[in-house]
Amino acid sequence: MVGGMQSASNEGFSDYKRAEKKALEILAGMKSVTPKKVDIELALLVAIFELHKGTASGETVGAIVQGHLKQLVPFYSPKNPSQG
């Protein structure tokens, strides 16, 4: 059964990578519409709230975003050379 669980995990990751690729394509299109990063940032955040509209409160969506940020920030932070 472990193999089935691994397969489900791989499928979930593949779904994520397809969604990530599409999001980056959308970002490229947004950059061609406006050079203002704040406009793009707000529009992307609105999209997240719209994704959950009618199923989660604003506070819940905010907590979801914060949870994702806790996972992503270390990935995008500069690596400490002493941690190798």
One DSSP character per residue, 2-67 reads HHHHHHHHHHHHHHHHHHHHHHHHHHHHHHHH---HHHHHHHHHHHHHHHTTTTS-HHHHHHHHHH
pLDDT, position 9: 78
In this structure, which amino acid lies at residue 18? R
Give yes or no for residue 7 having a pLDDT over 60.
yes
User: In Å, what is the CA distance from 52 to each residue of 24, 56, 62, 65, 74?
Assistant: 20, 6, 11, 11, 25
pTM of the model as a whole: 0.76
CB 45 within 8 A of CB 30: no
Residues above pLDDT 70, as percent of the chain = 85
Give yes or no for residue 38 having a pLDDT over 70.
yes
| Mean residue pLDDT across the chain | 89
Give yes or no for residue 1 having a pLDDT over 60.
no
